[in-house]
Amino acid sequence: MYDDNENLGVESSQTVGGCGPLLTQAGQEARSLRQQVFEHVRGAGRATRAEVTRALSISPGSVTALTADLIAANMLREVEGPMRDGNRGRPPVALEVVPEGRRVIGIKVSDERHSAVLTDFAGNMLADATLPIPSATKSPNELLDEMDALIGLLLAQTPYELSDINAVGIGLSGIVEHQTGTVIWSPLMSEREFNLKALFEARFGVPVLIDNDANVLTLAELWFGVGRAMSDFAVVTIEHGVGMGLVLNNRLFRGSRGIGLELGHTKVQLDGALCRCGQRGCLEAYLADYALAREASTALGRNTRNLQSPHQLLESLYGRAKSGNFAARSIFQRAGRYLSVGLANVIQLFDPELIILSGERMRYEYLYADEVLTEMQSLTLTEGRSLARIEIHAWGDLVWARGATALALIAVTEAALGEARAG
């Protein structure tokens, strides 16, 4: 049921080759044949026309025509394929994505540092940058200033300018309307209901895609990690807040209006602890770092007005818990029990094959102790059935930013395919 698997995921997927979901036939139904061909080659990293024909169950003539269109659109190119065992003569001709054909940037917005990754069209990382920032809520214009500095740091490592970038993906915490780019609410921002997409594009002149940060981390797993070959899985993040992303039938699920799956703001206690969203009893109010820090102030006898950061408080609390301090241990154990309730609800609602627990707080093993997972199982109606597998992926900020590049690559791919059809 549980797999403490910090070495799997995004980095290890590079041994597979390619990027993007490895689609099943069911996942391909809504895609055009041209898109299926392109995504198969991108997913495999390199494939011959015969391999595409077999994988997609379409005629060799259709594959030849479709790949010709994609080559003309500078999306695919021919390369020398691998020799088959025992064969002599010329190696087969294979196809691969033209990596330099398009470039995108992914940005992870946080409360202590922003991170960015530059990626080519084949999903290869070209550069990365991190910008420490003051830990305070900010206005939209202040956020744009910080992103301007971050993008400058990123591109300074490369021969490219902003005009060479086809799209930018941004992930930030809170409730984000993906289709419009409107930030309805974010704990990082001093304003509500503002269109970050319109503000960003007016300032930088580059198309931008914006989503909740848990969704972009889920895209990182779907495009570069263990989720590539899985049709259904969930990602639960525990950091400054509690987030969730869900993949159903190889696709990221956002809900009808793009603002669903706010696990951190599901209610686990009526009239309970105050959440930073302004409501009471949210799961986040018992699990997030600010919630644990609030409890730590009491357990450690610290004045809540002192200058110690939540991170420092949590480190002190964790150190005492490891040393056997009863009050400190009880705080993490209580948080673990609430996590078991949240995970049980995810299993009961969606029945995923895998739940990935991720985020900076997942290094606190009390949150995924055997007792937590046993209680999770006891809260679900799974008697006689195998339960969802649990894995721990404690990735850093660059993986979140890389997930944001997938957000941009999806849009750039759709635009390129549209141009290929028009041509």
Same domain, 186 and 322: no
Residue 242 token pair:
């509690």
Q: Which of 99, 121, 149 is the last residue of a domain?
A: 99
Q: What pTM, to 2 d.p., does this model score? A: 0.87
The answer to whether the CB of 394 falls within 8 A of the CB of 10 is no
Same domain membership, residue 303 and residue 384: yes
Q: Are 361 and 289 in contact (CB under 8 A)?
A: yes
Domain ends where: 74, 99, 124?
99
CATH of the domain at 181: 3.30.420.40
Same domain, 125 and 269: no
Q: Does residue 210 sit within a domain?
A: no
Q: How many helices (H) and strands (E) does the chain have?
A: 12, 17
Q: Are residues 127 and 145 in the same domain?
A: yes
Number of domains in the chain: 3
Token pair, residue 353, equals 């094959």
Lookup: tokens for 20: 């993007």
Last residue of a domain, one of 99, 130, 162: 99
Residues 287, 273 within the same domain: yes
Q: Rounded distance, CA 181 to CA 174, Å?
A: 12
Q: Is the same domain home to 235 and 326?
A: yes
Residues 303-320: tens digit of each pLDDT: 555 556 667 778 888 888
Which positions of the chain have pLDDT values less than 70?
A: 1-16, 23-30, 82-90, 258, 299-310, 383-384, 395, 420-423
Same domain, 94 and 145: no
* 284/416 same-domain check: no
Pair 83, 150 in one domain: no
What size, in residues, is the chain?
423
User: Which CATH number belongs to the domain containing residue 47 in this structure?
Assistant: 1.10.10.10
Token match 């818990």: residue? 321
Instruction: Give the pLDDT of residue 304.
Output: 52
Considering the domain boundaries, does residue 9 fall inside one? no
> What pLDDT is recorded for position 10?
43
Find residue 94's DSSP bridge partners.
48, 79
Say which DSSP state 184 is in. E
pLDDT at 37: 95
- In terms of residue numbers, what domain contains 285? 226-397
Within 253-325, where are the H helices? 284-287, 289-299, 310-322
Would residue 105 count as lying in a domain? yes
